[in-house]
Chains A and B, each alone.
Chain A
Amino acid sequence: MSNTSLDLAKIRADFPILQRKVNGQPLVYLDNAATSQTPLPVIEAISDYYKNTNANIHRGVHALSQEATEQFEEARKKIQTHFNAKHAHEIILTSGTTHAINLVANGFAAFLKAGDELIVSELEHHANIVPWQMLCERTGAQLNVIPMTEDGTLDMGVYHSLLNEHTKVVFVNHVSNALGIINPIDHIIEKAHAVGAAVLIDGAQAAPHIVPDVQALDVDFYTMSAHKICGPTGIGMLYGKAEWLGKLPPYQGGGEMIDQVTFKKTTYADLPHKFEAGTPNIAGGVGFGAAIDYMRRVGFDAIAAHEHELLQHATEKLNQIDGLRIYGDVAKKVAVISFNVDGIHPYDIGTILDKMGIAVRTGHHCCQPIMDHYQIPGTVRASFAFYNTHDEVERLVAGVEKAVRMLR
């Protein structure tokens, strides 16, 4: 195994949780697609905020409020820079990806009517299916599905045939959370725009591995959650082109999002505040900014190179286990391996791995349509981060081998 440019010992020292034991064994954390771990600089940024700055933001005349506002808005600028949005006010801070998708889906109720069509993919997380189904129920619009092919990639031929002048919104994930497959979103966006449809890309699973350039992609909406990139839970972002965010009606009413309030009529604040009703997760925002700083310091190129090595190593070794099948084992994917072993329930494998201190996810990964496609109850999913090591890959493989011996 070649060495990448990451100093793993130094990186791992930044993550206190990676030093702990689980069931008497050193923790091997391979559930990064569910949530990533939090490094000291992020923990300290949040802690410092509460120790030194805590105040409510915007409109406060006192020093703390102004400092808190500056820190929160500084985080927004970091997010803007990272995703290369044209304007900081195109970044809406939400509670996470689910909130961001609901915000957009809810807003589209104002534009849709019966006979309009929406396109989703079979690979989606429930968070990028259900809000749109609710929208269809409200508006009478129809939901069409891009199916998966057997290897887990999307059937682009069907996608092309689904697009027409009635198509209003296309929403697809950048990376599939259940399988790790990278979808051809540049192509999907281009084709959707050709028929005048807007596109929302759920970037929750791409964000830890890929730096999307929202301007180059020309995407209308892009969503992600901070906790997938070593940030805190409860904070995420919606990127939206200013022209779209200007047109969308507000999602929630309250303080912060208003311009003038009278009982006759309320006018709304400008972007981004129009979509940020109430006191936001200020410390979360500060932590989000610190997480972006941290990830960029480690370097996304080095992260991608190291994770690719881990993926190759694990794929090769796991494929040697008799009866083991990897779902979505294609070239364009991130370091996520979803698998089953013939005749063994994924829950059983996950339970045995947990006893050995190895954290994986089992189940349908909030993607029941994918499991239905393969006619399986779920999979075991090992998802890697840049702080994982080749030794941990070996422990996973040995753990699965042991589980198979016990369970067969």
Chain B
Amino acid sequence: MTITEKQEEIVAEFALFDDWMQRYEYMIELGKSLPLIAPEYKTDDNIIKGCQSKVWAHAELEGDKIVFTADSDAIITKGIIAILIRVFSHQHPKDILAADTNFIDEIGLKEHLSPTRANGLVSMIKQLKMYAIAYQTQLS
């Protein structure tokens, strides 16, 4: 699936819910399926510091696709990461670089990607893109 297809799939899943509670419960559920970062990469050096919650992210190249793993100490943050990684993982670096995260607005979770939220997610998205730039250079 392309990034756009995955985004549409997630938007369709969230469209089934009537209220914020169901959306949050689903997001928390998705957090449990997050491909967790291996312990050796879950180091202080790899922490993406948000004032409120901590985020760890790691990327590896499989063929010409990037595979992301991550974690967070807060379960809601973890849920959002799981959604982002579901979209961006197993994709080509150039597609990751071209993609945006507007679908998060559509599923009613926009506030979590606000820079004022201090949960580390904005920095995490930058980090994912940095990995994509690095691997793109390596591939070309």
B24 and A352 form a contact (CB under 8 A)? yes
Task: Give the shortest distance, in Å, between A348 (CB) and chain B (any CB).
Answer: 5
Asked if A128 CB lies within 8 Å of chain B CBs, one says no
Closest CB-CB distance, A101 to chain B, in whole Å? 22
Which residues of A are found within 8 Å of B119, using beta-carbon distances? Answer: 347
Which chain A residues border B52 with CB–CB below 8 Å? Answer: 347, 362-363, 378
Please give, as numbers and ranges, the residues of chain B lying within 8 Å of A377 by CB-CB distance.
53-54, 73
A377 to B49, CA, bound (A): 12
B16 on the interface (CB 8 Å rule)? no
Interface residues of B, count at CB 8 A: 16
Across-interface contacts of A355 in B (CB, < 8 A)? 20-21, 24
Min CB gap B124→A, angstroms:
15
- Cross-chain contact A347 with B77 (CB below 8 angstroms): yes
- Chain A nearest Cβ from B91, distance in angstroms: 28
Over the window 14-35 of chain A, the binary record of Cβ atoms lying under 8 Å from chain B Cβ atoms (1 yes, 0 no) is 0000000001000000000000
A9 adjacent to chain B (CB < 8 Å): no
CA distance A352 to B24 in the complex (A): 9
CA distance A407 to B31 in the complex (A): 11
Q: For the complex, is B100 an interface residue (Cβ under 8 Å from A)?
A: no
**A296 to B73 alpha-carbon distance, docked (Å):** 44
Kindly state the interface size class of chain A when it binds its partner. Answer: 10 to 19
Closest to A378 in B: B52
B75 contacts the other chain (CB 8 A): yes
**Contact status B51-A406, CB under 8 Å:** no
Choice from B20, B51, B53, B118 contacting A345 with Cβ under 8 Å: B53
A56 CB within 8 Å of chain B? no
Contact residue among B20, B53, B118 (Cβ-Cβ distance under 8 Å from A23)? B20
Nearest A residue (CB) for B118: A363
In the complex, chain B residues whose CB is within 8 Å of the CB of A406: 21, 24-25, 28
List residues of chain B with CB under 8 Å of any chain A CB. Answer: 20-21, 24-25, 28, 51-54, 73-77, 118-119
Given contact pairs A406-B25, A406-B28, enumerate 15 new A-B contacts (beta carbons under 8 Å).
A344-B75, A347-B76, A347-B77, A348-B75, A348-B76, A352-B24, A352-B76, A355-B21, A355-B24, A362-B52, A363-B52, A364-B51, A377-B54, A406-B21, A406-B24
Q: List 20 A-B contacts (CB under 8 A).
A: A23-B20, A345-B53, A345-B73, A345-B74, A345-B75, A347-B52, A347-B74, A347-B119, A348-B75, A348-B76, A351-B76, A355-B24, A363-B51, A363-B52, A363-B118, A377-B54, A378-B52, A406-B21, A406-B25, A407-B75
